[in-house]
Amino acid sequence: MTHPLHDHLPKHRFDAAKAANLLDPKRRLIDDPLPLLHEMGIQAGMRVADLGCGVGFFTHALLQAVGATGEIIAVELQEVMLSMLRERFPAQSNLTIHPADLLQTALPAACCDAVLIAFTLHEVPVLAALQEMQRILRPNGLLIVLDWGEIVHCPEREPGRQAGPPEDERILPAKLRQLLLAQGWQITAQGQRLHGCHYWLNARPVQEAQS
Ligand SMILES: C[S@@+](CC[C@H](N)C(=O)[O-])C[C@H]1O[C@@H](n2cnc3c(N)ncnc32)[C@H](O)[C@@H]1O
């Protein structure tokens, strides 16, 4: 008997009072975002949506990775995050700060070469998010999910410090793979960081056969 595939539903949203933690310098030290973005497939000239961008930890590195010919659309719905973003990136010509729910961005269809959703997918209903990401990606565009893996010992962090959400709130890679495949995505690459504490996954919407 086959079992129905259940959505991953969120139990919390990141607390805006902790916004400054997202820019803790230790974060960059233990996992430098720029080489990670390159490894995950971001290239110069791309137009990329950074969904649930928070205060712009990855937005900053994305701007470097896509360079002057690329463009970043930073999507966020909490006002505290948005005002910190505006302060951090005043008048940046190739950055659009787009206040919106990532489930309904109101961005034009097929407007992005790539979508990055970093440490945010576990905070939203995954099936609705995949639908919106598929809508805004151009044909054969690149989805990059970066999120918390299983709770593992990570010596790079302070001893005894448990980072990330409780395990039952995480969208673990096996579950995400199932949901992606069921929704008609092709998984093209996967990797992990910090002994599996973080994982990333690349997927592309499967193209309809031309008749
Ligand atoms: C854990 S933070 C990660 C922020 C950033 N990606 C980073 O890695 O630093 C998750 C962010 O997603 C945002 N978020 C959660 N649900 C959202 C939604 N439905 N639409 C837009 N942003 C959302 C939260 O407000 C928060 O800023």
* Mean pLDDT in residue range 160-164: 72
In degrees to the nearest 10, what's the CA dihedral of 145, 99, 47, 27? -50
Beta-bridge mates of residue 187? 203
* Mean pLDDT in residue range 153-170: 78
Cβ of 185 less than 6 Å from ligand 1: no
- Higher pLDDT: 126 or 210? It is 126
Structure tokens at 127: 């099936």
Contact 120, 51 (CB under 8 A): yes
Phi-psi region of 196 (alpha: psi -120 to 50; beta: other; left: phi over 0): left
How many angstroms does the Cα of residue 130 sit away from the middle of ligand 1? 15
Provide the pLDDT confidence category of residue 156 given band limits of 50, 70 and 90: confident
- Cα–Cα nearest to 78, from 53, 95, 60, 61: 53
- Higher pLDDT: 115 or 152? It is 115
Instruction: Say how far apart CA 76 and CA 175 lie, in whole Å.
Output: 25
Taking only the tens place, the pLDDT of each residue in 18-56 is 999 999 988 888 889 999 999 999 999 999 999 999 999
How many angstroms does the Cα of residue 136 sit away from the middle of ligand 1? 18
Domains belonging to the chain, first-starting first, are 22-205 (3.40.50.150)
What is the pLDDT, as a whole number, of residue 164? 86
Instruction: Say how far apart CA 49 and CA 36 lie, in whole Å.
Output: 16
Res 1 pLDDT > 80: no
Nearest CA to ligand 1 atom 26: 54
How many angstroms does the Cα of residue 53 sit away from the middle of ligand 1? 6
Atom of ligand 1 nearest to the CA of 117: 6
How many angstroms does the Cα of residue 100 sit away from the middle of ligand 1? 11
Contact 157, 164 (CB under 8 A): no
Cβ of 14 less than 6 Å from ligand 1: yes
What is the pLDDT, as a whole number, of residue 75? 98
3-class secondary-structure state, position 33 = helix
Instruction: Say how far apart CA 37 and CA 205 lie, in whole Å.
Output: 20
Res 211 pLDDT > 60: no
- Cα–Cα nearest to 170, from 8, 21, 2: 8
Taking only the tens place, the pLDDT of each residue in 87-145 is 999 988 999 999 999 999 999 999 999 999 999 999 999 999 999 999 999 999 999 99
Res 153 pLDDT > 80: no
Instruction: Say how far apart CA 23 and CA 111 lie, in whole Å.
Output: 29
Instruction: Say how far apart CA 89 and CA 104 lie, in whole Å.
Output: 24
* Mean pLDDT in residue range 136-157: 90
Provide the pLDDT confidence category of residue 163 given band limits of 50, 70 and 90: confident
Mutate to test the pocket of ligand 1, among 123, 136, 193 (most ligand atoms within 8 A of CB): 123
Res 158 pLDDT > 90: no
Q: Which residues of 116-138 are buried (b: 16+ CB within 10 A; e: fewer)?
A: bbbbbbbbbebeebbebbbbbbe
What is the pLDDT, as a whole number, of residue 83? 97
Q: Which residues of 44-66 are buried (b: 16+ CB within 10 A; e: fewer)?
A: eebbbbbbbbbbbbbbbbbbebb
